Amino acid sequence: MARSSTSVDVAVIGAGPYGLSLAAHLRARGVEHRIFGEPMGPWKTNMPLGMLLKSYPWATSLSDPKSEFDLKSFCTVRALPYHDELMPLPLSRFIDYGEAFQARYVPAVERKTLIALEPGSGFLRATFDDGETVRARRVVVSIGLHPFKRLPHEAAHLPVELCSHSGKYGSLEALDGKEVIVVGSGSSASDLAALIHERGIEVSLVARQPKLHFADGPRRHSLFSRTVAPMSGIGHGWTLATCAKYPQLIRLLSKDLRVRVANHRALGPLGGAFVKDRVVGKVPVWLSHAIRGVETHNGKVMLDLVDSDGAPRSIRADHVIFATGYKVDVNRLGFLNEALLRRMQLVDGAPELSAHYETTVPGLHFIGPAAANSFGPVCRFVYGTHHPAQHLARHLSAVLARFRPALQLRPLDRTVSP
């Protein structure tokens, strides 16, 4: 049954690390808001639970207003093993931390899905899957990467029982008893290959790269190495350190340079440091092989490959997982009204954003990975939650203050006692 329309100052779409961090800051500032989505949703349903996060634990905290509930604090209170750098962070522990953050700072998350966003007069109209329509002065979209899964065009015709994207998993039970090929060379590919192999499933890895690259193993860095290549929350080196600390400066660069910086070569494809020994020497790997074609035969997938010398090779499996990454393209967001899309200026598929994360549609903001082409690669990491949460909460608090009716003093209030 459809519900009557309601109004709110700010609607936050998405309850992952960026949405939860922003809502925590909005709540602290007393900004009227509602947040919609499943808390830590894609982390719980689209990543295998045995996965290890690639980022350092110290760089994997959500942003709270007083910077008092980081991952280390969470682990300390619960007597869980923790080290800033020398041990990996399991996905399951990060999810537990995110849900604890949500319960503490954002208790009123509404588990519903946005199905339509349309322009109104001085507001945006958001319609949800339960029939409710919300009129919001500001809408902040924080949906992560899951809607932007990228498959190679050769796989477009394959049925879902033979082909999937790495972003589907989740549980690996559907692969039991099958022969699997994973295509890719980044962390998603190596993580899945390791977990599938350890589950007892026959798996091989196909990559265009001549070598699989993995992050450096944990070690203590000397003063010299920290000076030459400072460590930041998104990687080593002065360029990444600058991107991590000053995203607002990245926005001042030219569009072409911003896109190049957002896709910095040092960021991938790169497997996690703790996965290397679980893949190399254990999973068959076909390096320097590009896909020339994909066919199906008798319920199997046939990959036609060509190596760097031009020599052809064909391999087959029951199922192929394409760990081929993500490409932000807001035209793929089914909830965006055509009128909004026509008014939105884009940078290589992502929205062009102001210093306040606002698109060229007044009142519509994007944070998280969709903001990377404007604010740099830090937007692709949990480490990047602090700047948009703090900045946007402060900005919206000031902007929306003018809509609040001024307090009117009654005569009694003005009476001065003798």
- Does 6-148+326-403 match 153-214+270-322 in CATH topology? yes
Q: In the chain, where are the structural domains located? A: 6-148+326-403, 153-214+270-322
Please answer whether residues 326 and 234 qualify as being in contact, where contact means their C-beta atoms are separated by less than 8 angstroms: no
Closest CA to 320 of 150, 166, 157: 166
CA–CA distance, 69 with 12 (Å, rounded to integer): 21
Question: Which residues, including other chains, have CB under 8 Å from residue 177's CB and lie 6 or more apart?
Answer: 201
- What is the separation of C-alpha 270 from the centre of its chain, rounded to a whole number of angstroms? 16
Looking at residue 1, its pLDDT comes to 37
Degrees, nearest 5: CA angle 287-229-266: 30
- Topology of domain 6-148+326-403, CATH: FAD/NAD(P)-binding domain (3.50.50)
Burial class (CB in 10 A: 0-12, 13-18, 19+), 79: exposed
Q: What's the CATH class of domain 153-214+270-322? A: alpha beta
Per-residue pLDDT of the chain (418 residues; tens, 9 = 90+): 345 569 999 999 999 999 999 999 999 999 999 999 999 999 999 998 889 998 999 999 999 999 999 999 999 999 999 999 889 999 999 999 999 999 999 999 999 999 999 999 999 999 999 999 999 999 999 999 999 999 988 888 889 899 999 999 989 999 999 999 999 999 999 999 999 999 999 999 999 999 999 987 766 666 656 666 677 888 878 888 999 999 999 999 999 999 998 887 767 788 888 999 999 999 999 999 999 999 998 899 999 999 999 999 999 999 999 999 999 999 999 999 999 999 999 999 999 999 999 999 999 999 999 999 999 999 999 999 999 999 999 999 999 987 665 444 444 443 333 3
Residue 180: phi and psi, rounded to 5, are: -125, 140
Looking at residue 222, its pLDDT comes to 61
Two tokens at 35?
A: 């947040």
Looking at residue 226, its pLDDT comes to 62
Q: Is the peptide bond before 247 cis (omega within 30 degrees of 0)?
A: no
